[in-house]
Amino acid sequence: MDRLAVIKGDITECKVDAIVNAANNSLLGGGGVDGAIHKAAGLELLEECKTLNGCKTGEAKISGGYRLPAKWVIHTVGPVWHGGKQNEDRLLANCYKNSLELAVTNDIKTIAFPSISTGAYRFPLKRAAGIAISVMKKFLDRDKNIQKVYMVCFDDKTFRAYSYNFL
């Protein structure tokens, strides 16, 4: 699929229309990719996020990108892993699907995703990669608005997991 690419890098440096933030429910910043995005975007991002009234797990909201190369940030809240017995798979799939739908609504043509929920939220990496790639492929098969989706992996282990599922 030429509209989907798995790359290794820093999502805060991606030159795309929108990057996706693996946020927490408050949308007010945190650790990992969330903290990195807030730091790179500047305090204006935090100020706008204060007006968004948080975000439920599996849903997505959009803000400006401010000092980032990306014009937009789509914030989505992934599920905390509880052994797979609390709809974690469905909630994670919804993060990707709802982020892509929000991108289409906002005429976003290029978008970059991090690996959602696989850090502090402890979602098993290989399982998360399979869900993410599957949702992305299905979405791109039926929707032609988005020109390119990048799965941006911060380290080698994550890159291998997503690359394997991409085949």
Report, as residue numbers or ranges, the catalytic residues.
34
- Three-class SS of 26-56: CCCCCCHHHHHHHHHHCHHHHHHHCCCCCCC
Taking alpha carbons only, the member of 30, 6, 40 closest to residue 158 is 6
**Residues near 56 by Cβ (< 8 Å), separated by ≥ 6?**
25, 77
What is the C-alpha to C-alpha distance for residues 54 and 76, in angstroms, rounded to an integer?
10
Q: Which two three-digit tokens encode residue 71?
A: 């014009």
